[in-house]
Amino acid sequence: MNKILKKAFFSSNVVYFEVEAPLIAQARKAGHFVLVKVGTNGERIPLTIAASDTTKGSISLVVQRVGVSSAKLCALNEGDYITDLVGPLGKATHIEKYGTVLCAGGGVGVAPLLPIVEAMKKAGNKVITILAARSKELVILEEQMEANSDEVIIMTDDGTYGKKGIITAGIEEVLLRERVDMCVTVGPAVMMKYVALLTKQYNVPTMASLNTIMVDGTGMCGACRVTVGGKTKFVCVDGPEFDAHQVDFDEMQMRLGSYKEIEQKAMNQYLT
Ligand code: FES
């Protein structure tokens, strides 16, 4: 049982939690994630650790309310307990001094991108961060990104904040302007697919952090499998980061949508 120390709303559907987890806070590195369960028979949700505080013994998680399980988690308040929290899981991000690193995050993918931005900056890279959202109220962690980046570019679909346009427009603007040695992208599968297609044209090595369905988180169940370079990989133990130019994003998207109808039914039941 892990106590919720702080809860804040980034938007009506995106919640920030600071959760007591001293051992995970000490052990975690950029790229690591946890599996969270609400209720004894609850579904397990993978969430990347956005930040940690070893003095307080806490980790920060950002949750988007998309289905019943995330809705149950978002309904918890400060002082409540999360039934199960397991981690840190996955492989840590490979951090080195590449030169110029372009970090591109969309939606709540910006949360897992934050520790990567921090680590890339700490390693001595020039970090250009692009944050993309549908509109102004969905742009998150801007201040924290500013503190760890040489430049932050905001893109909104409707133009209510930053520049109007999708993430690839912001990326291409940078790629046309200067040399980029590494790109890291986190966000919806379709977004990462198009980021990868674009950076491939410019021969920029690209890492994508994948967020698939997960059950055990230890490489046993196969729920998180993806195809990378024609081979089956498990996101929970082989990832979550992979060479974006090798990931079969269409297959990943199809697998992510397999339970849509059941999820919708469950959500309707939960709301009634
Ligand atoms: Fe079961 Fe990855 S979550 S194999």
ipTM of the predicted structure? 0.99
112 with 210, same domain: the answer is yes
- Residue 270 to residue 250: CA distance in whole angstroms: 30
Q: What tens-digit pLDDT sequence spans the chain (272 residues)? A: 889 999 998 887 889 999 999 999 999 998 899 999 998 888 888 888 888 999 999 999 988 888 888 889 999 999 999 999 998 999 999 999 999 999 999 988 888 899 899 999 999 999 999 999 999 988 888 999 999 999 999 999 999 999 999 999 999 999 999 999 999 999 999 999 999 999 999 999 999 999 888 888 888 899 999 999 999 999 999 999 999 999 999 999 988 877 777 777 777 777 77
DSSP-derived pairing of the beta strands 44-48 and 33-37: antiparallel
Q: 30: closest CA among 99, 117, 102?
A: 117
33 with 160, same domain: the answer is no
129 with 250, same domain: the answer is yes
- Atom of ligand 1 lying closest to residue 213 CA: 3
Tokens of 245: 């130019």
Residue nearest to atom 1 of ligand 1 (CA): 221
Q: Is 128 in the pocket of ligand 1 (CB under 6 A)?
A: no
* 3-class state of residue 236 by DSSP: helix
136 with 206, same domain: the answer is yes
Residue 40 has a pLDDT of 84
- In this structure, what CATH number is given to the domain that contains residue 246? 3.40.50.80
**Which residues constitute the domain of residue 16?**
2-89
Question: Which residue among 36, 214, 233, 238 is best mutated to probe the pocket of ligand 1, counting the most ligand atoms within 8 A of its Cβ?
Answer: 214
Write down which residue in 89, 115, 148 finishes a domain.
89
Q: How far is the CA of 212 from the centre of ligand 1 (A)?
A: 9
50 with 13, same domain: the answer is yes
Q: 61: closest CA among 39, 88, 40, 43?
A: 88
16 with 133, same domain: the answer is no
Beta strands in 14-77 (DSSP E): 14-20, 33-37, 44-48, 51-53, 58-64
